[in-house]
Amino acid sequence: MNPTQVAIALWTVVYKEVKRFTRIWPQTLLPPSITMTMYFIIFGSLIGSRIGEMDGFSYMDFIVPGLIMMAVITNSYSNVASSFFSNKFQRSVEEMMVSPMPNWVILAGFVLGGMARGLGVGLIVTIVSLFFTRLSVAHPLLTVGVVVLTAALFSIGGFINALLADKFDDVSIVPTFVLTPLTYLGGVFYSISLLPPFWQGASLLNPILYMVNVFRHGFLGVSDIPVGWALAAIVAFIVVLFGIALWMLEQGKGIRS
């Protein structure tokens, strides 16, 4: 395929993915918005007012970046995992496999689709948060950069999950038993400085902690961990996981007999 044809093929996959999650917006865009609004009301306004300050900021201001990031992570991941698995299940993935479209275009198309949903939901949550607090952004470029990279990373993760999944249950195992605990323990609701030294060290093994902290640094200018290292780690994860996903696709894992 020449570059123009590749661009058309990539756009086709992305367009189809975006159209899919916007067509079923009551399932994809509305629920996370309502859930996050509940978090803002309960943890931010009601309980947060009794907690006081966290790292020198009101509790509401402290949790807003974490909640936005949580929405981006879960939605990027689940969008690609469920969409690609549905394509496998309905065998419509064969439409792409019989075409001359390179595998990296298929992968990139689904990842961009997942990022679009993750970032879209992130934007909705950000807008909702404006009803509860005055949001200020200390480092706009860093804020945007890290949320885009995080959406990309978890979209790739969702793709690998879908490739390996044999049934719908397999698509929900990782979000339920891995992503949700890591997100909750990743400093969304608290600063790790509150933890005993052992658990502080253990928390540093959680990759989501780095993403949440860099994102919070973008908003508030404070972070529990070095920002440069965190960014480098996210980029490294993206490169490695993209390579693994592409290799699996080339090998036909889960899609070719």
Partner 1 sequence: MAEPALSIRGLTKVYGNGFHALKGIDLDVEQGDFFALLGPNGAGKSTTLGVVCSLVQKTAGAVSIFGIDIDRDFARAKYHLGVVPQEFNFNQFEKVIDIVLAQAGYYGMPRREALPRAETLLKDLGLWDKRNGSARMLSGGMKRRLMIARALMHRPKLLILDEPTAGVDIELRRSMWEYMRRINRDEGTTIILTTHYLEEAESLCRNVAIINHGEIVRNTSVRGLLAELDTETFLLDLAHPVEDAPAIEGFEVRQVDSAQLAVVVHRGQRLNDVFTALGERGIEVVSMRNRANRLEEMFVSMVEEGNRANPVKKAEVSQ
Where does this chain bind partner 1 (CB under 8 A)?
A: 1-2, 4-6, 8-9, 11-13, 15-16, 19, 23, 86-87, 90-92, 94-102, 252, 256-257
Give 4 or 136: the residue with its C-beta nearer to partner 1. Answer: 4
Of residues 5, 3, 7, 18, the one with CA closest to residue 155: 18
Least CB distance from residue 254 to partner 1, whole Å? 13
Least CB distance from residue 96 to partner 1, whole Å? 6
Q: What is the DSSP letter of 194?
A: G
Contact 148, 72 (CB under 8 A): no
Give 12 or 33: the residue with its C-beta nearer to partner 1. Answer: 12
CB-based burial, 68-84: b 16+ in 10 Å, e otherwise: bbbbbbbbbbbbbbbbb
Contact 69, 188 (CB under 8 A): yes
DSSP, collapsed to helix, strand or coil, labels residue 195 as coil
Give 5 or 49: the residue with its C-beta nearer to partner 1. Answer: 5
Least CB distance from residue 23 to partner 1, whole Å? 8
Least CB distance from residue 7 to partner 1, whole Å? 8
Give 8 or 30: the residue with its C-beta nearer to partner 1. Answer: 8
